[in-house]
Structure 1
Amino acid sequence: MNWDVIQGKWKQLKGEAKSKWGELTDDDLDRAEGDRDKLVGVVQERYGLAKDEAEREVDEFYHKHAA
C-alpha cells in the first residue's frame, strides 16, 4: 500500500480524518503526519481498539482518499 499519496495530501486530509474520528485532536493528527502506522497507533489509543480493528479503519480511510 502506497501511503505517499496520503502523506502528500495530509494537510488537506486532516479535516476528513477528524470527521471520521471525531475524538482525535489536532495534536493527534499532527503527530500522525499522514503515516499509516502512526495513525493506526493514534486511532487505537484514542478509541481503545485492538490493533487489527484500528488498521482496518485506517485502511478504509486510505482507500477512500488515495484515489
Structure 2
Amino acid sequence: MDWNRVEGNWKQVKGKIKEQWGKLTDDDLDVINGKRDQLEGKIQERYGAAKDQVKRDIDDWYGKQNW
C-alpha cells in the first residue's frame, strides 16, 4: 500500500475520510495531516475499535478508492 498518495493529497482525501468516519472532526483531520498512525489512533479513540480492526478498516477503505 502506498500511503504516500494519501499524504500528498490530504486536502482532497479529507472529505472521503470524513464520509467513511463521520465522527472525526475537521480539527482531528487537520492534526492527522495524512499520517496513517494518527488516523488509526483517532478512529480508535472516536469509535472505540480495536487497533487490528481499525487497520483492516483503513486497508479496506484504501483499496476501494479510485486513485
- Tell me if TM exceeds 0.5: yes
Checking the alignment, whether the CA contact within 8 Å between 1:7 and 1:34 is kept in structure 2 is yes
2:7 is aligned to 7
Instruction: Note the residue ranges of structure 1 that are not aligned, 5 or more in a row.
Output: none
Aligned residues: 67
Instruction: Note the residue ranges of structure 2 that are not aligned, 5 or more in a row.
Output: none
Over the residues paired in the alignment, what is the CA RMSD in angstroms? 1.3
Q: TM-score under structure 2 normalisation?
A: 0.88
2:62 is aligned to 62
- Where in structure 1 do 4 or more consecutive aligned residues deviate above 3 Å? none
Query: Relative contact order, CA 8 A, sep 6+: which one is greater?
Result: 1
**How many angstroms does 1:66 deviate by?**
6.6
For residues 58 and 31 of structure 1, the distance between their equivalents in structure 2, rounded to whole angstroms, comes to: 18
Instruction: For 1:15-54, list aligned pairs within 5 A.
Output: 15-54=15-54
Q: Which amino acid aligns with 2:7?
A: Q
Percent of residue pairs bearing the same amino acid type: 52
Q: TM-score under structure 1 normalisation?
A: 0.88
